[in-house]
Amino acid sequence: MEQAVRRIPTSLWRTASEGIIDIILNSSNADNMPSDLAKTILYYWQRDQLATEVGLQRLLEAAMRLEPEKTIGFVEELGLPELVVILRQSAKA
């Protein structure tokens, strides 16, 4: 996810993090969230670091586990085709 997040321009970090959080919180697969990943996300949230490179990495990781198609759709809406390609590849792997 490190490479993937670098495709998101800084100006979109806030929008991206909020959109991905919505996907995660409203996911019907939320049970599949690994507890260690959840705790890492809470750690970054407490410190206002979800809209940073490291925060977005963890959020994308979680969103791709829970809702890969919705996440890719959201990234498409953000207008980030290169990231879409990376995410599609990671979903297949």
The radius of gyration of the chain from alpha carbons, rounded to an integer in Å, stands at: 12
Is residue 14 within the footprint of other proteins (CB under 8 A)? no
8/24 with CB nearer other proteins: 24
**Residue from 25, 28, 92, 93 binding other proteins (CB under 8 A):** 25
Is residue 22 within the footprint of other proteins (CB under 8 A)? yes
For residue 56, which of 31, 69, 74, 32 has the smallest C-alpha distance? 74
**Residue from 38, 54, 78, 85 binding other proteins (CB under 8 A):** 38
Element (H, E) at 62: helix 53-66
For residue 19, which of 88, 80, 86 has the smallest C-alpha distance? 80
Is residue 33 within the footprint of other proteins (CB under 8 A)? yes
Q: C-alpha angle with apex 35: 30 to 41, nearest 5 degrees?
A: 85
Is residue 78 within the footprint of other proteins (CB under 8 A)? no
Residues that bind other proteins (CB under 8 A): 21-22, 25-26, 30-31, 33, 35, 38-39, 41-43, 45-46, 48
